[in-house]
Amino acid sequence: MDVVWFKRDLRTRDHVPLLSASLSGKSVICLFILEPQRLEQEDTDPIHLQWELDCATDLSETLKKSGAHLHFKVGDAVEILKEIDLSLGIDRLLSHEETGNSWSFERDKKVLDLCRNRGIKWIEFPNNGIIRRLPDRDIWKRERDKRMRQALSDAPVFTKSVPFEGAIPRLSDIGYFPRELKNRPEPGEDAAIRRLDAFLREYGKEYRWAISSPSLSVKHGSGLSPYFSSGSLSMRRAVQKTTSRIEWIRKSRAHVEDQEDWIKSLASFRRRLAWRCHFIQKMEMEPDLDLVAQNTAIDLNMDRVLDNERFTRWKDGGTGWPFLDACMRQLKSTGWINFRMRAMMMSASSYNLWLPWRDTGAYLARQFLDYEPGIHWSQVGMQSGTTGINTIRAYSMTKQGRDQDPDGDYIRKWVPELSMVPTKYIHEPWKMPDSLQDSISCNIGRDYPHPIVDEVESRKMGISRSYSARGGEEARRISKEVLKTHGSRRRPTRNSKKSRATSTQLKLF
């Protein structure tokens, strides 16, 4: 018998393990395991498991149309696979390669031991654009692009599927009650494909300029990240559909309004799809990226401190910096925020508040519905300055607020204490005269906090300490290694001289 083990690949299309099982002529069990142990990990939240469970529930309906049945189990993967083997006998265990956090890496090692001991053939198929056992980072792009060109496939048909007679589990059965997220996307494969289509045809034209804004990005960003994380959509499908759409727009000059805007936006989106694979590849090559900084010497030299008051106020959106507070609250309420604001959150915690990246990174991971360990921990490393190979990106919250929310409407929406503050003061409410504070019943220090620390001074100090931490032979030696293993292999462009010059300098955003 074949077992197809669905992990974070909850779809029927472009699913090679499923296709392989459908062609084998053997009986098949499609398996989804709800693993409560995951919830003991610092980076995992019930919202993640609920999302996967909902996508798996949708998958079970889609599978039924193909003649297959999804078996839901709760518990430890090794024990569950052992039980199935004892009762039904597994010939082949089929799954995608998973690039997850340290915990899933260790779990997969135990599953491999089980398979070896019990004579089960575990076949792991390549996933997205991640190359396992990549011998050399220089060939990564070529190999990934080759993968992206492979043919798409539809849901396969099954004739010998073992029926599932149990009930679909609920998180409450194991004592967890996920927080409710506002505007959570509709789960499942069809919903993911509809969203991709709508982005490519209706709301993606403004993508390029809209994604830096926390409110406009909700409308014009793809919003696909939760679907990629649950694997409801394959990367190959997203890349190929985007390419076809760009080509179609190019050819049909006369029919598409704002053709150049569409092409530039979709090309920019396609580049980000490649970033996804690029970042996850880092974790594939260094599975403990969630535990150990890429440059351990810099991390040690920084010696950041977990100050509880600072940490709590940053988490709760109570720092006294209105734009950052609004972003932290949007994230908590909806489970999503755009790239630039994620980077700003890390910059504030790392440079202004000097908090350790593991604690702040784990908190953000638990807030993101789209939590993807490979992207997340690579970005956390970059934005906290602990890779040694990236420019120090220290964001000014006040500047970001003025750029992205000039009239303050976004702040007023998420920080209602400030709803009466005039636009002149919305980004720096502590500068309001006392009489104004009284007249609008918004006293800084009572109704909304004073800034937790001076923004400009604390940023300067954070940057200066970060540069000091980069000094020293050991830090530089490790940085060189990190660059060799993980650095982007972008081909030199006309601007490369300029970008080389700025890459070693400080960037203020």
Ligand X SMILES: Cc1cc2nc3c(=O)[nH]c(=O)nc-3n(C[C@H](O)[C@H](O)[C@H](O)COP(=O)(O)OP(=O)(O)OC[C@H]3O[C@@H](n4cnc5c(N)ncnc54)[C@H](O)[C@@H]3O)c2cc1C
Interacting residues with ligand X (CB under 6 A): 211, 221-225, 228-229, 269, 272-273, 275-276, 279, 338-339, 342-343, 346, 368, 370-372, 375-376, 379-380, 383
* CB of residue 297 to ligand X, shortest distance in Å: 22
* CB of residue 110 to ligand X, shortest distance in Å: 25
CB of 5 or CB of 228, closer to ligand X? 228
Angle (deg, nearest 10), helices 397-404 and 339-347:
160
CB of 4 or CB of 224, closer to ligand X? 224
* CB of residue 281 to ligand X, shortest distance in Å: 11
Q: How far apart are CA 138 and CA 490, in angstroms?
A: 10
Cα–Cα nearest to 324, from 232, 435, 448: 448
* CB of residue 219 to ligand X, shortest distance in Å: 10
Q: Chain centroid to CA 483: how far?
A: 22
* CB of residue 224 to ligand X, shortest distance in Å: 4
CA atoms within 13 Å, Cβ hemisphere of 104 = 22
Q: How far apart are CA 321 and CA 405, in angstroms?
A: 13
CB of 195 or CB of 412, closer to ligand X? 195
Angle (deg, nearest 10), helices 357-367 and 373-383:
140
* CB of residue 276 to ligand X, shortest distance in Å: 4
Q: Which residue is nearest to ligand X (CB)?
A: 222
What's at 414, amino acid-wise?
W
CB of 216 or CB of 256, closer to ligand X? 216
The pair of three-digit structure tokens given for residue 76, joined into one six-digit string = 């430890």
CB of 144 or CB of 342, closer to ligand X? 342
Is residue 324 within 8 Å of 353, Cβ to Cβ?
Answer: no
List of E strands, 11-103: 28-34, 70-74, 92-96
* CB of residue 376 to ligand X, shortest distance in Å: 3
What's at 75, amino acid-wise?
G
Backbone φ and ψ for 73, nearest 5 degrees, come out as -130, 155
CB of 155 or CB of 273, closer to ligand X? 273
* CB of residue 504 to ligand X, shortest distance in Å: 21
CB of 93 or CB of 211, closer to ligand X? 211
List of E strands, 48-205: 70-74, 92-96, 121-125
* CB of residue 265 to ligand X, shortest distance in Å: 10
Cα–Cα nearest to 324, from 251, 405, 256, 384: 405
CB of 32 or CB of 357, closer to ligand X? 357
Q: How far apart are CA 269 and CA 212, in angstroms?
A: 13
The pair of three-digit structure tokens given for residue 45, joined into one six-digit string = 């939240």
Q: How far apart are CA 341 and CA 212, in angstroms?
A: 8
CB of 276 or CB of 486, closer to ligand X? 276
Q: How far apart are CA 6 and CA 32, in angstroms?
A: 5
